[in-house]
Amino acid sequence: MKQSAIFLDRDGTIIYDFGYLKSPNEVKFFPGTFSSLQKLQNSFKLFIITNQSGISKGITTPDEVMQVNDYIVNELKSQGIVVSDVFCCPHSNEDNCICKKPNPYFILQAAKLYNLNLENSYIIGDHPSDVECGQNAGINSIYLLTGHGEKHKDELKNEFRICENIVEASECILNN
């Protein structure tokens, strides 16, 4: 049977958004990230999709971003949480790439690689580009008010489900 997935944004969704992170020392998980993902992974495969335009802008190096991503995956693993894959776009808008959210590229790639059932899958993120990415891929989208969420709420072009944080989003998904 095809499995469903949760596509998680990184900054502002599972960890605090302190800008372009260069080191694992700067990673701080939201309270409730671990317990939420522990519950979600009973029914969903977990993925992280992150835009890291700091690389294209020369603010961060690919290696720094990779170290932060690896640290996050390992911290989650130490809590019994398995992230199946991390997809990272290193580009900025000027690069006109195919992979930066709201492009659905990574979701569609994951669906192929992991034989996913997108119909019952979700993206969770704190930026309009996250929920638009979900919409472009034809999956369910939840907009969070953590991170940049509160600030960009009025820019949402469509009606999306809005949740306070990752905890409320996971409850919303599991009670659905």
Q: Which of 11, 17, 126, 130 is catalytic?
A: 11
Nearest residue to 3 via CA among 46, 60, 36, 54: 46
User: Which residue has the CB atom at the shortest distance from Mg ion?
Assistant: 12
- Closest distance to Zn ion from the beta carbon of 78 (Å): 30
Q: Strand, helix or coil at 144? A: strand
The Cα-based distances of 99 to 32, 150, 154, 165 in angstroms read 29, 25, 25, 25
Is residue 108 part of the contact set for Zn ion (CB under 5 A)? no
Cα-trace Rg, the chain? 15
Is residue 99 part of the contact set for Zn ion (CB under 5 A)? yes
Asked if 130 is an active-site residue, the reply is no
Binding residues among 10-39 for Mg ion as defined by CB under 5 A: 11-12
Q: Strand, helix or coil at 32? A: coil
Asked if 9 is an active-site residue, the reply is yes
Nearer to Mg ion, 11 or 64 (CB): 11
**Binding site partner of 11, from Mg ion, Zn ion, none, Cβ cut-off 5-8 A by kind:** Mg ion
Nearest residue to 170 via CA among 10, 13, 62, 12: 13
Instruction: Dig out the tokens for 92 from the structure.
Output: 């900025």
Binding residues among 88-147 for Mg ion as defined by CB under 5 A: 126-127, 147
Is residue 9 part of the contact set for Mg ion (CB under 5 A)? yes
Instruction: Dig out the tokens for 136 from the structure.
Output: 């472009």
Residues annotated as catalytic (active site), given as ranges: 9, 11
Residues lying near Mg ion in the complex (CB under 5 A): 9, 11-12, 126-127, 147
Residues lying near Zn ion in the complex (CB under 5 A): 89, 91, 97, 99-100
